[in-house]
Amino acid sequence: MNTKSGIYLLFLGLAISISQSVANPFLRPDQLQAKPPPVIKPAPPPPKPIPRNSNIEFRGYYVFQGEWHFALYDKSKNEGYWLRKGEALEGQQIRVENFQPETETIELSGGWSLSLIKSDGKVLPVPSSRPVAKAATTPKPTPPKGNPVNTKPTSSGLVKLPGGATMGVPRSGIPRPNRTR
């Protein structure tokens, strides 16, 4: 029985290997070919960071005793700084290198430059310790003193005017109910 079961297993293994090598009639011909492995492209290197802070603005300048002073404003911190040529901005790698008064631009370390921001003409309120006087308001018109004019018609439909005169007021087309006392 051992030899019969061995021969049986041999034929079974041979049948399985032949059946796997026979093409599946339901597959398309191009699916039998081995697919090439996918090509994975390496990720491009990240761009170098720009060493400048776009939140820095050049807001003003003046000359005092032959030395230029420049107003720089950091919008992210909401702080302004006055720097001289060669000074660096606190906590940042920004140093004033050069100034061209003709074009009103300053050159900063790192090879970038800032142009003077033009004023938009707004006047900003300045806080002070004194209270601000409010604008005077115009008084409301008051009716003249004396006999007030009765503009309410009487039961007869007349309006009394100043000086004792009366004026008739046209009645509407709606009849009034009779009043009995």
Tens-place pLDDT, residues 43-80: 888 876 555 557 888 888 888 888 889 898 888 888 88
Mean pLDDT in residue range 108-126: 79
Q: What is the reported pTM? A: 0.40
Query: Model confidence at 136, in pLDDT bands (50, 70, 90)?
Result: low
Beta-carbon contacts of 41 under 8 Å, excluding residues fewer than 6 positions away, are none
Residue 128 pLDDT more than 60?
yes
Mean pLDDT in residue range 162-180: 65
- Looking at per-residue confidence, does 6 or 95 come out higher? 95
Q: Tell me, what's the pLDDT at 146?
A: 56
Beta-carbon contacts of 83 under 8 Å, excluding residues fewer than 6 positions away, are 69, 70, 72, 89, 96
Residue 107 pLDDT more than 80?
yes
Mapped onto helix, strand or coil, the DSSP state of residue 4 is: helix
Exposed (0-12), middle (13-18) or buried (19+): which is 55, by Cβ within 10 Å? Answer: exposed
Q: How many CB atoms lie under 10 A from the CB of residue 153?
A: 16
Residue type, 173: G
Please state the domain extents for the chain.
Answer: 58-100
- Looking at per-residue confidence, does 90 or 7 come out higher? 7
CA 154 to chain centre: 65
Q: Tell me, what's the pLDDT at 156?
A: 61
Exposed (0-12), middle (13-18) or buried (19+): which is 96, by Cβ within 10 Å? Answer: buried
The answer to whether the CB of 53 falls within 8 A of the CB of 65 is: no
Lowest pLDDT segment from 76-85, 122-131, 142-151 = 142-151
